[in-house]
Structure 1
Amino acid sequence: MADTPEQDLRAFKFERILNQDTGRKTLNLLGTINGLPAIITAEKTAFNTTSPENFVSSDEGLLSLNLLQKNDIYHWFMGTISQSATSNAAAKVNLIYPCTDVHIKKYSAQQLHMVVETPDIYEKYVTKYIKQKTEGGRLNWVYNILDHKEESEKIVYEDEDKEMGFILLPDLKWDLVTMTSLYLSVIVHRTDIRSIRDFTPSHIPFLAALRSKVLTAVSEKYSLPGDLLKIYVHYQPSYYHFHVHVVHISHDMGASATVGKAILLDEIIEVLKLMGKVPGSQVVGYKDLEMTYVLGEEHDLWKKIFEPLGKGEEPTI
């Protein structure tokens, strides 16, 4: 009989820390499970505010306290809090098993670099990289969701149209409880869009309809108005099947939602509206734009394309 996910996680044999962020309270660990590489990512969860009146209770809230310092009206303590894996968990834990070298690089601490991707670099080199990343079953997990083979019980909303439709579901990074850390993903049904580089003005109706339907679905499901949501995409994305991130505006997503990584969906729509309006312009889509973004030095795009180009060498992609 195959091991359960919890049994797999418990069998994790630690090798080294890939990264930790004391500000955002996250930890990434590399190890093995049954001899295969695995990654565990952990993030401290938000405080449970369903019963704030019990916070100081020694039975249901602060179980123990250690006074560190006091000065006039100020007091500093360290404490332990009553916790439950179902109602008040201490951490959100993700397991990637078996993981690949790409996952290890992604979750490792690394120096970041700003790069400028010209239309020529995109056409000559990046398209080859994208092709490699969409072969060999790398997107099977995405198709499993779209085909309702996995995670169908989590679907918040679905438009089944193969051209205009999508699935909206909670992202694995959300604890499903804390509304101010709400994080949903939109995965489109169509397979002809790998990233924003594939967009032209002809896609405006598709993107505008997607945005409208997402806002309505989130409002109906979670009673959140649109002005409390950030809707954005990544470039470069973590996988090359078009998807959109929907996050509560109060949620600190760190580097995932910063300049050089995240691009608002509204901005993409407005840029597409402007394309073709300038007389004599050769810009017909996002593939014709110069794009600046952040890459970690462990990313293959940096190692195989931008680092060699910076040294005057031919990319190895």
Structure 2
Amino acid sequence: MADSVATSSSVDLQAFEFERVLDENPLTVLGTLPSTTQRLPAILRIEKTALASSITPADLSSTKLIENNDIYSWHFGWLKQREDVPDLKINVVFPATEVHIRKYSKQDIILVHETPQLYARIVKPYIDSFPASRTQWVSDILSGASEASKILFSSPAFALLPDMKWDLTTVPALYLVALARDPALRSLRDLRAPHVPLLEAIRAEAHRVVWERWGLERGGVRLYVHYQPSYYRFHVHVVHASQAGLMGMTVGQAHLLDDIISMLSLAPSILEDMTFTYGLGNQHGLYAPLVAAQAEVPFVATAAQDGH
């Protein structure tokens, strides 16, 4: 009989037993948490929450001078505990599989070129190999079985809600996600010209929601799509335009929704036909086959390399 596993709502973080650090940025640690009859692997992703705008020196419990020079000085500070301002946000994956452990481990990155041929031979079979259970949590959101109270907009085509990365409070750190309902849409590669109305609707509703709820004008948010994505159900990220340095905004991985719409309007099958270049971590399931296949990708030397 399979071991009964505690639900996420009943996870006791005080019972977490540390094993090792998977990554330092953000701090991600592997350990175990108790289930009904045994301890199972658990991943904790620990991040500092954004400082509330209401924080003042009165909220400091103590300070320590680091250095001073003329009119400048540097200090360490410790905040008093405030129930309305948590210090940390902790994301938990429990029970964690070996796939999760690899995903959240620090990785060496290499740039790969994915031609349409390599997509058809290597990437699409990899995507198709994932069981529906891997994205059951997306289906639960779309069906209303999970996070129903967080839905900001819902239609027969997609739903818009806060991403788990956001603390739901700090507007400059705003992070939403639009989830497409069509399960046949797995990634950027599946988009064609007939999907433009869907993409335009996501863009329009995202701008409407952030204006009505948080007063962000058009241009106040950045909408983009990942390739490769972290999960294979098509979704669009919506983040505050002032955010910079997010891990998912790396060149090659993030593709602006506006650009995608423009490309599909000009060439209906361009995302099917083009070669994508992106970084791939050495723990990713596509790393070994795509790296091995790079010799098949034509390399065009520059004029300088040709000696011209």
> What residue is the counterpart of 2:138 in the other structure?
142
> What residue is the counterpart of 1:29 in the other structure?
29
1:215-254 to 2 correspondence within 5 Å? 215-254=207-246
Which segments of 5 or more consecutive residues in structure 1 lack a partner in the other structure?
277-283, 313-317
Q: Matched residues in 1 for 2:149 and 2:245: separation?
A: 25
How many Å apart are 1:28 and its aligned residue? 0.5
User: SS of 1:19's equivalent?
Assistant: strand
Q: Matched residues in 2 for 1:207 and 1:31: separation?
A: 40
> What residue is the counterpart of 1:90 in the other structure?
87
> What residue is the counterpart of 2:287 in the other structure?
302
Q: Matched residues in 1 for 2:214 and 2:101: separation?
A: 34
Corresponding residue pairs, total: 288
How many Å apart are 1:136 and its aligned residue? 4.8
Range 206-215 or range 290-299, more displaced: 206-215
Q: Does 1:266 align with 2:263?
A: no
Percentage of pairs with the same residue: 41
The one-letter code sitting in structure 2 at the alignment partner of 1:196 is: L
Which segments of 5 or more consecutive residues in structure 2 lack a partner in the other structure?
297-308
> What residue is the counterpart of 1:180 in the other structure?
172
The one-letter code sitting in structure 1 at the alignment partner of 2:187 is: S
Q: Matched residues in 1 for 2:152 and 2:208: separation?
A: 11
How many Å apart are 1:150 and its aligned residue? 0.6
Q: Matched residues in 2 for 1:98 and 1:7: separation?
A: 10
How many Å apart are 1:3 and its aligned residue? 6.7
2:21 paired residue among 17, 21, 33: 17
Q: Does 1:56 align with 2:41?
A: no
- 8 Å Cα contact 1:19/1:109 also seen in 2: yes
| TM-score, length basis structure 1 | 0.86
Range 7-16 or range 231-240, more displaced: 7-16
User: SS of 2:183's equivalent?
Assistant: coil
Q: Matched residues in 2 for 1:100 and 1:252: separation?
A: 31
How many Å apart are 1:254 and its aligned residue? 2.5
Taking a change above 3 Å as real, the CA distance of residues 297 and 189 of structure 1, as seen in their structure-2 partners, is same
> What residue is the counterpart of 1:279 in the other structure?
none
- 8 Å Cα contact 1:167/1:186 also seen in 2: yes
The one-letter code sitting in structure 2 at the alignment partner of 1:150 is: S
> What residue is the counterpart of 1:100 in the other structure?
97
Taking a change above 3 Å as real, the CA distance of residues 31 and 188 of structure 1, as seen in their structure-2 partners, is same
Q: Matched residues in 1 for 2:53 and 2:80: separation?
A: 13
The one-letter code sitting in structure 2 at the alignment partner of 1:294 is: G
Taking a change above 3 Å as real, the CA distance of residues 73 and 158 of structure 1, as seen in their structure-2 partners, is same
Q: Does 1:192 align with 2:184?
A: yes
> What residue is the counterpart of 1:281 in the other structure?
none
User: SS of 1:127's equivalent?
Assistant: helix
> What residue is the counterpart of 1:202 in the other structure?
194
> What residue is the counterpart of 2:75 in the other structure?
77
> What residue is the counterpart of 1:280 in the other structure?
none
Taking a change above 3 Å as real, the CA distance of residues 215 and 13 of structure 1, as seen in their structure-2 partners, is same
- 8 Å Cα contact 2:112/2:294 also seen in 1: no
Q: Matched residues in 2 for 1:189 and 1:221: separation?
A: 24
Taking a change above 3 Å as real, the CA distance of residues 8 and 230 of structure 1, as seen in their structure-2 partners, is same
Q: Matched residues in 2 for 1:3 and 1:240: separation?
A: 24
User: SS of 1:63's equivalent?
Assistant: strand
- 8 Å Cα contact 1:171/1:184 also seen in 2: yes
- 8 Å Cα contact 2:22/2:105 also seen in 1: yes
User: SS of 2:57's equivalent?
Assistant: coil
- 8 Å Cα contact 1:14/1:31 also seen in 2: yes
> What residue is the counterpart of 2:306 in the other structure?
none
Q: CA RMSD in A?
A: 1.8
Taking a change above 3 Å as real, the CA distance of residues 192 and 293 of structure 1, as seen in their structure-2 partners, is same
Q: Matched residues in 2 for 1:299 and 1:181: separation?
A: 28
| TM-score, length basis structure 2 | 0.88
How many Å apart are 1:76 and its aligned residue? 1.9
> What residue is the counterpart of 2:45 in the other structure?
41
Q: Matched residues in 1 for 2:116 and 2:11: separation?
A: 48
How many Å apart are 1:15 and its aligned residue? 0.5
The one-letter code sitting in structure 1 at the alignment partner of 2:276 is: M
Q: Matched residues in 2 for 1:220 and 1:81: separation?
A: 33
User: SS of 2:129's equivalent?
Assistant: helix
How many Å apart are 1:106 and its aligned residue? 1.8
> What residue is the counterpart of 1:118 in the other structure?
115
Range 209-218 or range 193-202, more displaced: 209-218
The one-letter code sitting in structure 2 at the alignment partner of 1:175 is: D
Q: Matched residues in 2 for 1:166 and 1:49: separation?
A: 33
